[in-house]
Structure 1
Amino acid sequence: MFELAALAYLIDLRFGEFRTTHPVVLMGRFIEGYEGRYYRDNIRSGAILIASLLTLTLIVSLSIVYACQQLPYWLALPVLAVIASMGLAMHMLHASVSELLTSKQPRQALRYLVSRDTETMSDSEVYKAAIETWAENLSDGVIAPLFYLVLFGLPGLAVYKAVNTLDSMIAYKTDRYLHFGRVAAKLDDLANFIPARLTALLIILVSSDKKRAWQCLWRDADKLESPNAGRPIAAMAGALGVALGGDAMYHGRLKTKPALGDAIVPVTKTTLSKALSMKTPIDFTILGLLAVGFLLS
């Protein structure tokens, strides 16, 4: 699967999102449709939704693989790679976060990337939130999909995207979703356990200050409520010599969160630019590892 993953990654880097209905959008519509008709404030109702979506996703992805297996290999590989590239988000993630560097209204641009309130943020808080989004989504949008693509092919990637979509839509600790989305939250934590740690190691590997990045990861990775999000964020904080995390406003309410990293330098637009500049070494490292995997397989 290494050659499939490498080609899919290259396609994403070059073309990004294709102008077609994205599979995640279809998954979202399925979730909304189920919730609208069958929502119940209990764990069982949410679990049935998860089982239904994952089963449907697996059937569709296996059918696509089967159809491609009827084609000659030289044609099947690029077809599968194009489809798989739709589950990768490096191009879109980097482009979306980079918009804050040139936007005349960075708070408005940030609002589309985070769930926290952005209207009253200082410039430093805006760039800090963007860096956190960049670090955390390197795991969810890039490393995790590649990880499952390499292990299980297109079905593995598709099922992971379904799990991640469920988490983004119903795994909230609100009155409506506390029970309904509990299984989705736990499943997403499990699915991202290894990828989040691989992402943190990747950030350290491309960092100019590997020692500090490792020290911050070791010290701060478990400070956040999420068992996974703290890994890449702590590593990124150490790599940049800044403090990330901290209190933030969500839907008009202040949420107290610990700081990760050390405030050696302030968080500015330059800091965000430095974080985003990691993309090229990350790309080369990923492609290099996939090439080594292909040669050894």
Structure 2
Amino acid sequence: MRGRHGLAAAGAAGLGTALGFAADLVLGDPRRGHPVAAFGRTAAALERRLWRDHRGAGALHTALLAGGATAASAVLARTLRRSPAATAGLTAAATWAVLGGTSLGREARAVGGALAAGDLDVARERLPHLCGRDPQALDGQQIARAVVESVAENTSDAVVGALVWGAVAGVPGLVGFRAVNTLDAMVGHRSPRHLRFGWAAARLDDVAGYPGSRLTAALAVLAGPDPRGAWRVLRRDARQHPSPNAGPVESAFAGALGVRLGGTLAYRGRVEHRPVLGGENRPVAVPDIERAVRLSRRVNVLALALCVAGGLVRSRPRRPAAGRGSR
């Protein structure tokens, strides 16, 4: 009975994940009342109360927010666990809330469309919707490169990573991953204010993002137009990137698309000189934005299939070993 119940629960969760993925695909993010935006406002308000230039204060901030969101979703999921329909509905709602693949593609295409029309001002205006770089310091080619890099990184952060944790831990995994990733985006960067306060959020995000980034990189190799080139750049260049999770993803995309990523960038008031990924490839051009969005979409669909199938396999009843239960 337990095995059948576990398989039914996994089936309901898998159905909910697929429905939530489809809702994001069709609807994108809600324009008002987005749960992630509400979480961000709560995090900002708590930061104003707790901020100290100290790692301990930042760790408390992260624990209260990420731990609180995960615990609340776990209680709700446990309350509804005996109803497959309720489990599917809750999983669908949580999946839709935490995924951002469609909005990512829309914003990337909006910047690409502005660049294709020669409207650099509009492209600069829209770029902050994708990343925190200083758009005024970038020309058209650099903006196109920033968009492709953002699409690559956020394929993992906004979709695949959440699906992986959803497959592992259900609704609490979905919610917990998005909470940690949001906190990292808010306080995990190396600004003077957040260098110590955001340390815990950044390190926790590195851990939470590890499995999703590796799966994203692997699927980009398999689904991209140049699997051999993607594998070559991934193996050679991934470790050179300062981020342990962005490195594999951006390297795989660079190789798959045959473009060169990385280099100098202006980010939140500071200049960084990052290693070049795919140095033998050509610079990013505006049409590569659409190619990156399409590759991201293929990776997301494959990740969905793998995560749903993995959840079903993991919950399948195990046959007792020969000889057991005969006494």
Into which bin does the TM-score normalised by the smaller protein fall? over 0.9
User: For residue 110 of structure 2, what is the amino acid of its counterpart?
Assistant: E
RMSD: 1.9
Secondary structure, aligned partner of 1:86 = helix
1:256 to 1:266, Cα distance in 2 relative to 1, 3 A: closer
1:261 maps to 2:307: no
1:62 to 1:209, Cα distance in 2 relative to 1, 3 A: same
Residue 101 of structure 2 aligns with which residue?
90
1:154-173 aligned at under 5 Å gives the runs 154-173=171-190
Q: Map Cα deviations across residues 174-226 of structure 1 (whole Å, 9 max, x no partner).
A: 22211111111111111111111111001111112111100100000011111
Contact 1:143 1:195 in 2 (8 A): yes
Residue 244 of structure 1 aligns with which residue?
261
How far apart, CA to CA, are the structure 1 residues paired with 2:166 and 2:78? Answer: 16
How many residues were matched structurally? 296
Contact 1:3 1:290 in 2 (8 A): no
1:32-71 aligned at under 5 Å gives the runs 32-69=44-81
1:41-190 aligned at under 5 Å gives the runs 41-69=53-81, 72-103=83-114, 104=119, 105-190=122-207
2:39 corresponds to which of 24, 27, 31: 27
Q: Map Cα deviations across residues 251-271 of structure 1 (whole Å, 9 max, x no partner).
A: 454321111013433311112
Secondary structure, aligned partner of 2:239 = coil
Q: Look at both structures and tell me which one has the larger radius of gyration over its CA atoms.
A: 2
User: For residue 245 of structure 2, what is the amino acid of its counterpart?
Assistant: N
In structure 2, stretches of 5+ residues that fail to align are 1-12, 317-327
User: For residue 63 of structure 1, what is the amino acid of its counterpart?
Assistant: V
How far apart, CA to CA, are the structure 2 residues paired with 1:290 and 1:253? Answer: 38
Residue 247 of structure 2 aligns with which residue?
230
Residue 15 of structure 2 aligns with which residue?
3
How far apart, CA to CA, are the structure 2 residues paired with 1:17 and 1:204? Answer: 28
Q: TM-score, with normalisation over the residues of structure 2?
A: 0.84
1:120 to 1:52, Cα distance in 2 relative to 1, 3 A: closer
Secondary structure, aligned partner of 2:282 = coil
In structure 1, stretches of 5+ residues that fail to align are none
User: For residue 229 of structure 1, what is the amino acid of its counterpart?
Assistant: A
Contact 2:104 2:130 in 1 (8 A): no
Instruction: Report the more deviating stretch, 148-157 or 280-289.
Output: 280-289
How far apart, CA to CA, are the structure 1 residues paired with 2:31 and 2:271? Answer: 38
Q: TM-score, with normalisation over the residues of structure 1?
A: 0.92
Q: Map Cα deviations across residues 42-90 of structure 1 (whole Å, 9 max, x no partner).
A: 11111111121123212321233244346x4235413431232111111
How far apart, CA to CA, are the structure 1 residues paired with 2:268 and 2:295? Answer: 32
How far apart, CA to CA, are the structure 1 residues paired with 2:310 and 2:69? Answer: 27
User: For residue 162 of structure 2, what is the amino acid of its counterpart?
Assistant: P
1:135 to 1:280, Cα distance in 2 relative to 1, 3 A: closer
1:176 to 1:75, Cα distance in 2 relative to 1, 3 A: closer
Instruction: Report the more deviating stretch, 195-204 or 7-16.
Output: 7-16
1:191 to 1:251, Cα distance in 2 relative to 1, 3 A: closer
Identity of aligned residues (%): 33
Instruction: Report the more deviating stretch, 36-45 or 143-152.
Output: 36-45
How far apart, CA to CA, are the structure 2 residues paired with 1:151 and 1:188? Answer: 16
User: For residue 89 of structure 2, what is the amino acid of its counterpart?
Assistant: P
1:192 maps to 2:204: no
